[in-house]
Amino acid sequence: MSNADKFTAASNVPFPTDTLPDHQVYEHPLVKRYATKEMSFVWSPAMKFTTWRKLWTALATAEQELGIEISDEQLAEMRSKLYDVDFEFAEKKEAEFRHDVMGHVHAFGEVAPAAMPIIHLGATSCYVGDNTDLVQIRDALLLIKRKLVQTIDILKKFAVKYRDLPTLGFTHYQPAQLTTVGKRCTLWMQDLLIDLSNVDREINDLPMRGVKGTTGTQASFLELFDGDHDKVKALNKRVCELMNFKKTIPVSGQTYTRKIDYMVLSVLSGIAQSAYKMCGDIRLLSNLKEVEEPFSKTQIGSSAMAYKRNPMRSERVCSLARYVMGLPNAAANTHASQWFERTLDDSAIRRIVLPEGFLAVDVILNLLSNIGDGLHVWPNVVRAHVMAELPFMATEVILMECVKAGGDRQELHEAIRVHSMDAGAVVKGEGKPNDLMERIAKDPLFQKVHDKLDEMIDPILFVGRATEQVDEFISDEINPVIEINKSLMDVQSVDDVNV
């Protein structure tokens, strides 16, 4: 029996059920490999179900304030058990009732028995479900905002440092007029600044679903308050206040409109787009050996090619960003397909796309900060690429100077055309450096400018207002935002990039 036959016999058997028992369940790589502790907590069962209890306690507190017979002892008991969640008991009750909310109602009542008769009074499942989603979205947006501001501040330092380092601009990924390394960075920052504005808008505009009842009519609460409309309105307002929301959605069906999910995921998609563009640029510049992302001393670029320094962090950003950019489509279809006051086909997909969108963007921003903080520029390589193309760009300046000195514009133009074609043939056909300036320096037609050719092709003369634009952008756009959000600058993230 050959070794190949022996391998086939050993491998073509059912997987032993007692082998690797702790590793037989799928692990989501977004959570296991990438996600941060901070964002994972926002979407954790601990956060979700303790928020349910806070919502029940807020509801009972507001109901008592408005005259419903609920004792201080009942409220005290509820407050004392906000974090005492027996998940095993809740799962047992959920299996019994086939209803997750009622499973947790009974789990809460088990540890707060005096309050059991008034827990969830007048409410529907979406009272805790939807309002908790909105609490989590709000907290997640605040975390995203903090990391966006910090990322912008890191890139600001890079832009300032390289504000006046000339580099080739590219259009169609072909050499174009010069810009500066710092100016290019401001393009990335401007996108992120727009994203920050969108995040701020979502945070400020995000409403609580509030107290709306089964189909949004508040009928159960109107019954509870014996037809007193003012008390129902007051209840809705008070619960929102207790949960630290400034506004409540004006009308709803059973759920808050799923258009909000679409708007939130669109903001996350916008951040992903900005990150993809920035890291796409870095990947291309890495190929040119002009710019490299951080690379640790023991990092391995390739298991086969030991010399490689792959832009793996930027590639990971692009990979995650590509996923996030597709999520708004799922939210759009979910919103569009909701029938009348509500259908349950929104539930399963929302459990996936909302947490994963935030988890992925949180990782992306951690990576952007890490990349920006350690982004390495090789100025000599940048200059070499500039000087390989600059002679062609400088010909118009040379032509004008020669004409000013009394030269014939047409004759000079033809000479430059011939020299340029010959120099281009040397570069492309022979693989040699661009020798256009040497050709012009030897041509007596250009004798009037021979003594100042070097200063005429100083790269900084060809960057236009790029340097000034960096200074103005930082001063007028970035610094005010950093100042407004300076309280966020010193908050340290729990996690760093570790893969």
What is the set of active-site residues?
A: 172, 302
Q: What is the 3-state secondary structure (H, E, C) of the chain?
A: CCHHHHHHHHHCCCCCCCCCHHHCCCCCHHHHHHCCHHHHHHCCHHHHHHHHHHHHHHHHHHHHHCCCCCCHHHHHHHHHCCCCCCHHHHHHHHHHHCCHHHHHHHHHHHHCHHHHHHCCCCCCHHHHHHHHHHHHHHHHHHHHHHHHHHHHHHHHHHHHHCCCCEEEEEECCEEEEEEEHHHHHHHHHHHHHHHHHHHHHHHHHCCECCCCCCCCCCHHHHHHCCCCHHHHHHHHHHHHHHCCCCCECCCCCCCCCCHHHHHHHHHHHHHHHHHHHHHHHHHHHHHCCCEECCCCCCCCCCCCCCCCCCCHHHHHHHHHHHHHHCHHHHHHHHHHCCCCCCCHHHHHHHHHHHHHHHHHHHHHHHHHHHHHHHCEECHHHHHHHHHHHHHHHHHHHHHHHHHHCCCCHHHHHHHHHHHHHHHHHHHHHHCCCCCHHHHHHHCHHHHHHHHHHHHHCCHHHHCCCHHHHHHHHHHHHHHHHHHHCHHHHCCCCCCCCCC
Token pair of 231 as six digits = 């008390």
SS3 467: helix
Residue 382 amino acid letter? V
- CB atoms under 10 Å from CB of 291, counted, come to 24
- CB atoms under 10 Å from CB of 174, counted, come to 9
Q: How many Å apart are CA 405 and CA 396, to the nearest integer?
A: 14
- Which residues pair with residue 169 across a beta bridge? 176
